[in-house]
Amino acid sequence: MNRWLKLLGALVGVAAGAFFVSYAYRALQGHDLSALAEPQVSLSLGLLTLLYMALIPVSALAWTLLLGGLERRVPISITAPILATSQFGKYLPGNVAHHIGRVVMIKSAGVGLGVGVLSIAYESILAILACAHVSALTFLWETPAAFADSAITDNRALLVALVTAGAIATISAAPFLATFVWRLRNRNLGPAQPPVLYPGLYPLAFSYLCFALNFVLIGLGLWIMASALGGVGAGISPVLLTGAFASSWLIGFITPGAPAGLGVREAALALWLNESLPSSSVVLLVLALRIATTLGDLLNLAWGSVLMRSRRRAEA
């Protein structure tokens, strides 16, 4: 089953990538791409890259709190380099190598396999909920022009209410689900009490806000980039760009087999912005985002590797 799901995800990724390439070809035909080399655009691209790199310390703070709630005290000076180093694994087929790398590397800090996997599971759930919440709130605040005539627009308040209720219900049910899984896997232990499987309301809520902040940071960077490309004059707002990025990230995340959501996220983002910006600006903005994220991952890999090597030498 997993093999067929990965194959389906790969096919979806290829199809989405082909759609975006075709869209880009039509949009850029007869247009000058030298806009990306203009000083103002280059500076905006650099700022977008820095904002993307800021996701590592924000996410590391959330991971540190989740591990602390599970009674594993790991400072951010350890979790941040691990996150920075492992993130490049998401470009490998399957889109899970970065999670495996984190579990392996965090063992050096005394975190066992079970707790490592559990913390990442909590993190993934919270990131998905934050992403869905940000996307839904975008419709309530500012409906994307591409969805102006859709059923989603007619039920915006209901959409936000359902996502909010889903976030609260999922966070509330997490400890019961974790305990049930533990007892299911340890039936031979009888009435033994399970270890700490619930990080607590504060770490969960704060981590949820951290992941929501991540999407806001990228939305702000995209808005600055769109301003440099002339998109703000057309009425584009940071709220719309934040929601567009959040929804495209979610689609890329849940698509199995697409390395780093390659192709899928570009196609989804282009569809979101199609009616809000000129087609040529949409393509340039999407390409700038992919450049910024790839460059940001390379820079994060560099400083994360340096810090991890220094730590290993100090321990030795």
Measure Cα distances from 164 to 65, 74, 96, 161 in Å: 22, 31, 28, 5
299-316: per-residue pLDDT in tens?
888 898 888 888 877 776
Residue the block writes with tokens 């849940």: 254
Side-chain-facing half-sphere of 170: CA atoms under 13 Å: 21
Taking the C-alpha atoms of residue 118 and residue 178, their distance in angstroms, rounded to an integer, is: 8
Query: Given pLDDT bands bounded at 50, 70 and 90, which one contains residue 270?
Result: confident
What confidence tens digit (pLDDT) does each residue in 47-96 have?
A: 999 999 999 999 999 999 999 988 888 899 999 999 988 887 776 655 66
Is residue 24 classed as helix, strand or coil in its secondary structure?
helix
pLDDT at 302: 86
How much is the pLDDT for 57? 94
Whether residue 194 contacts residue 183, with contact meaning beta carbons closer than 8 Å, is answered with: yes
How far apart are the C-alpha atoms of 11 and 6, rounded to whole Å?
9
Q: Does the structure show a pLDDT above 90 at 31?
A: no
- Give 176-233 pLDDT, tens digit per residue: 777 777 677 666 665 656 667 788 888 888 999 999 999 999 999 988 888 887 755 4
Give 140: exposed, middle or buried? Use CB within 10 Å, 0-12, 13-18, 19+. middle
Q: What is the pLDDT of residue 63?
A: 93
Highest mean pLDDT out of 274-278, 280-284, 294-298? 294-298
Alpha-carbon distance of 112 to 296, in angstroms, equals: 29
Residue 211 buriedness (CB in 10 A; 0-12 / 13-18 / 19+): buried
User: Shortest CA distance to 44 belongs to which of 241, 218, 226?
Assistant: 226
Q: Distance (Å, rounded) from C-alpha 107 to C-alpha 114? A: 10
Q: What is the pTM of this model?
A: 0.78
Write out the two tokens for 275.
Answer: 């009616």
What type of residue is 149? D
